[in-house]
């Protein structure tokens, strides 16, 4: 997870390419995240992800929980930690297999649909988008008769109130959810489950390794509606996976293949999984790659690109970039209390949760690590900088800089031992005057080993 410290020292010395700190993809650096499922609610984007562990078991996907991040500006993301895990399902004995999720709101409740690899698809419910989530039915929602078939749920509520749940590998199935969102109409198809016909017209075709021709659809469907047209975005062409899409005049088809959205690129993983939203007048395409793990396909990371639909509603070919989102859609207010786990980029850090309070904070801070926060609007001159910190060690310093890792130094906050790693104390320091919109860099300095934990910050 950590970029080599030698490389960082070279960067500081000025011999590394200057675009290093400009990278915004992947959007999460503290953990490996995959299978992005963005949801827009009340002026905020909530990004639900699966989570590839830092250490794999048996050289395969090692996934125990589902995480959530949020943003109001599309460049700074707040970590809400693991909002659900396999432990939510008392009836399941699976210790691995927390695969691609999706969450949706209905009637003031939030429904998180999750596949448990080998045990079908289940549902959790919460009063808030960040949980806590609970199991409302105590069993699977969709039973599995094949270890690969019942994965990758995608959910959508149509304008008439009818909800649909699609899923599947290597085919595509759906049910019509009842209004309670935790059961479905059993009168359709086979006991309520409808199998979508995998025709060439609907999903294109490809020649498999066995020489047989089959539909290009592979897995990872993402179902939504835009301008009275229904879209099915999915991973295609087997391994390595591309992203393609089909459209239909109704939520049940018939589907027509429309083309590729993202082709194979060197830093993409051998899998891919898309999520598309419209937010604040813009359209965004989420996917995952393997750039953070430097080519390890079982350790993936979520990235995002902004795009514009063609006039006929078709989706253009999107090229994955390191730059990601170029401009924030709003400015961050540095004079309000900001959670330390809100960041655009970080190096060498992790986040953790206080199990007693649920509080998320930044940890594993070593000398030379840093956090970047984009587009902070200093509409008045600050006089002080305050932060919530905790440490059992000798502590260290937070260098407060703008517009670069080695940018103008506004001040230095001294952090000493507080007597406990979650014994939070507010510390403050004077800072230089600054006006305008700037990126903020918190650069951590100190001796060997972990320095302190970081909970929140605020200019005053």
Q: Which residues are catalytic?
A: 35, 219
How many Å is the Cα radius of gyration of the chain? 23
Token pair of 86 as six digits:
């396999």
Q: Which SS3 state, helix, strand or coil, does residue 9 take?
A: helix
Compute the 3-state secondary structure of the chain and give helix, strand, coil in percent, each to the nearest 5: 5, 45, 50
Token pair of 383 as six digits:
């006089």
> Could you give the CA distance from residue 62 to residue 54 in angstroms, rounded to a whole number?
9
Report cis status (omega within 30 of 0) of the bond before 319: no
Contact 203, 257 (CB under 8 A): yes
- Cβ partners under 8 Å of residue 194, min gap 6: 173, 174, 175, 188, 252
Tell which residue, 42, 67, 62, has the closest CA to residue 52. Answer: 62
SS3 per-residue string spanning 297-350 = CCCCEEEEEEECCCCCCCCCCCCCCCCCCCCCCCCECCCCCEECCEECEEECCE
> Could you give the CA distance from residue 280 to residue 442 in angstroms, rounded to a whole number?
29
Q: Which residue intervals of 204-299 are DSSP H helices?
A: none
């Amino acid at each position: 997870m950590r970029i080599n410290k030698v490389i960082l020292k070279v960067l500081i010395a000025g011999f590394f390419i200057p675009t290093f700190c400009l990278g915004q993809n992947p959007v999460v650096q503290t953990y490996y995240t995959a299978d992005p499922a963005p949801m827009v609610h009340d002026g905020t984007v909530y990004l639900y992800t699966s989570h590839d562990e830092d250490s794999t078991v048996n050289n395969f996907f090692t996934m125990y929980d589902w995480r959530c991040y949020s943003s109001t500006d599309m460049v700074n993301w707040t970590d809400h930690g693991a909002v659900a895990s396999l432990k939510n399902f008392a009836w399941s004995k699976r210790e691995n297999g927390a695969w691609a999720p999706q969450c949706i709101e209905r009637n003031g409740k939030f429904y998180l649909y999750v596949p448990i690899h080998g045990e079908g698809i289940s549902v959790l419910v919460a009063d808030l988008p960040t949980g806590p989530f609970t199991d409302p039915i105590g069993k699977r929602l969709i039973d599995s008769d094949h270890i690969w078939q019942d994965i990758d749920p995608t959910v959508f509520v149509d304008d008439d109130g009818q909800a649909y749940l699609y899923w599947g590998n290597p085919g595509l199935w759906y049910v019509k959810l009842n209004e309670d969102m935790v059961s479905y109409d059993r009168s359709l198809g086979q006991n309520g489950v409808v199998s979508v016909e995998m025709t060439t017209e609907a999903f294109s075709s490809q020649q498999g390794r066995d020489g047989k021709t089959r539909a290009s659809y592979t897995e990872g469907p993402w179902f939504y509606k835009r301008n009275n047209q229904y879209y099915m975005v999915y991973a295609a062409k087997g391994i390595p996976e591309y992203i393609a899409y089909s459209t239909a005049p109704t939520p049940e088809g018939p589907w027509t293949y429309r083309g590729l959205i993202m082709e194979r690129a060197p830093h993409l993983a051998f899998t891919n999984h898309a999520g598309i939203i419209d937010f604040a007048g813009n359209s965004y395409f989420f996917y995952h790659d393997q750039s953070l793990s430097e080519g390890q396909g079982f350790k993936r990371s979520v990235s995002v690109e902004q795009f514009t639909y063609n006039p006929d509603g078709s989706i253009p070919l999107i090229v994955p970039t390191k730059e990601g989102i170029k401009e924030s859609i709003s400015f961050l207010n540095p004079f309000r209390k900001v959670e330390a786990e809100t960041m655009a980029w970080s190096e060498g850090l992790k986040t953790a949760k206080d199990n007693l309070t649920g509080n998320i904070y930044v940890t594993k801070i070593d000398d030379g690590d840093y956090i970047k926060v984009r587009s902070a609007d200093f509409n008045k001159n600050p006089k002080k900088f305050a932060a919530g910190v905790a440490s059992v060690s000798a502590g260290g310093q937070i260098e407060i800089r703008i517009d670069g890792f080695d940018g103008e130094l506004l001040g230095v906050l001294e952090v000493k031992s507080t007597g406990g790693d979650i014994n939070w104390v507010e510390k403050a320091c004077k800072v230089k005057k600054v006006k305008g919109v700037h990126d903020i860099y918190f650069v951590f300095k100190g001796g060997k080993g972990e320095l302190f934990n970081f909970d929140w910050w605020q200019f005053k």
